[in-house]
Structure 1
Amino acid sequence: VESNLESNLECNLEFNLESNLESNLESNLESNLECNLEFNLESNLESNLESILESNLESNLESNLECNLESNLESYLES
């Protein structure tokens, strides 16, 4: 009887250990995936926003420069 109890205890411990490891691994993988997705999303949004703002700034500066040059040239020619 004692031998069976020890054997059962050993089997149960082994099973519980494997089961807990598997469950913890799955939980950690899901959590890491969620964190990574969130981080990547924020990072990509930030990067895209920065890129769009820089592009718009450059475009606006160029457009304003052209308009000012045209306007100044017209004013100069009229005077």
Structure 2
Amino acid sequence: MEISNEMISRLAKLSRLSFNDEEKEAIKADLQNMIGFVDKLHEVDTGNVEPLLHIIPHQNIYREDRIEGHISNQEALHNAPVH
């Protein structure tokens, strides 16, 4: 996919940004590099690769709930400002 100056202008308008000509050329080159990289990724044969759902193989590890020290309602309200 070729990035045109019109496309850069349209993206700038959609994002409500303004760029001078030098910045537009730099953005154009960056976008072209990104699209080229994605095109290379499309060429990789992933037919025999299993999908990765999560990097860490662990499930959530839960612990039993424990009721520990607590404060009474009066103690909690003691910290609240008086209205």
Structure of larger gyration radius: 1
Q: Whose helix proportion is higher, 1 or 2? A: 1
With normalisation by structure 1, the TM-score equals 0.34
Q: What's the TM-score once normalised by structure 2's chain length?
A: 0.33
